[in-house]
Amino acid sequence: KAGVTQTPRYLIKTRGQQVTLSCSPISGHRSVSWYQQTPGQGLQFLFEYFSETQRNKGNFPGRFSGRQFSNSRSEMNVSTLELGDSALYLCASSPFTGPRRNEQFFGPGTRLTVL
Amino acid sequence: AQKITQTQPGMFVQEKEAVTLDCTYDTSDPSYGLFWYKQPSSGEMIFLIYQGSYDQQNATEGRYSLNFQKARKSANLVISASQLGDSAMYFCAMRPPGSTGNQFYFGTGTSLTVIP
Backbone phi, psi, residue A84, to 5°: -70, -5
pLDDT confidence of residue A74: 97
pLDDT for the residue B1: 57
Q: What is the DSSP letter of B4?
A: E
| Mean pLDDT value across residues A5-17 | 97
pLDDT reading at A36 higher than 80: yes
Judge whether A37 and A20 are in contact, CB under 8 Å.
Answer: no
Chain-centroid distance of CA A100 in Å reads: 21
- Interface of chain A toward chain B, CB-CB under 8 angstroms: 31, 33, 35, 42-45, 48, 50, 55-56, 58, 88, 90, 92, 94, 102-109, 111
Tell me which of A103 and A69 has the higher pLDDT. Answer: A69
What average pLDDT does chain A have? 92
| B103-B61-B88-A108 Cα dihedral, nearest 10 degrees | -50
More confident residue, B29 or B67: B67
Residues of B in contact with A102 (CB under 8 A): 33, 35, 50, 52, 95
Encode burial over A68-81: b for 16+ CB neighbours within 10 A, e otherwise: beeebbbbbebeeb
CA distance B47 to B58: 17
Q: What does the pLDDT average to over A7-35? A: 95
Residues of B in contact with A58 (CB under 8 A): 103
Contact with chain A for residue B64, Cβ under 8 A: no
CB B108 within 8 A of CB B9: yes
Return all residues near B41 (Cβ < 8 A) that are at least 6 apart. Answer: B88
Positive or negative torsion for Cα B114, B87, A101, A57? positive
pLDDT score of B100: 61
Largest CA distance in chain B: 43
- Do residues A43 and B91 lie in contact, with contact meaning Cβ atoms separated by under 8 Å? yes
The pLDDT, as a whole number, for residue B79 is 97
d(CA B45, CA B32): 21
Task: Determine whether the interchain pair B45/A111 forms a contact, defined as Cβ–Cβ distance below 8 Å.
Answer: no
Strand residues in chain B grouped as ranges (E):
3-5, 10-14, 19-21, 24-26, 33-39, 46-52, 60-61, 64-69, 74-79, 88-95, 105-106, 110-115
Range of lowest pLDDT (A94-108, B1-15, B32-46, B78-92): A94-108
Nearest CB to A48; choose among B50, B93, B103: B103
Please check the confidence at residue A1 and state whether its pLDDT lies above 80.
no
At residue B98 the predicted structure's pLDDT band, cuts being 50, 70 and 90, is low
> Would the CA dihedral through B35, B65, B79, B4 be positive or negative?
positive
Using pLDDT thresholds of 50, 70 and 90, give the confidence band for residue B2: low
Whole-angstrom distance, CA of residue A79 vs CA of residue A21? 12
Cβ–Cβ gap B102/A33 under 8 Å = yes
Residue A114: predicted pLDDT: 97
Minimum CA–CA partner of B96 in chain A: A56
pLDDT in tens, B36-65: 999 999 888 999 999 988 888 999 999 999
Nearest chain A Cα distance for residue B99, angstroms: 9
**Is the pLDDT at B3 greater than 60, yes or no?**
yes
**B36 and A CB contact within 8 Å:** no
Using a CB-CB distance cutoff of 8 angstroms, which residues of chain A are in contact with residue B102? 31, 33, 48, 56, 92, 94, 104
Classify the C-alpha dihedral A112-A5-B36-B98 as positive or negative: positive
Interface contacts A/B by beta carbons within 8 Å:
62
> Taking residues B15-38, what's their average pLDDT?
93
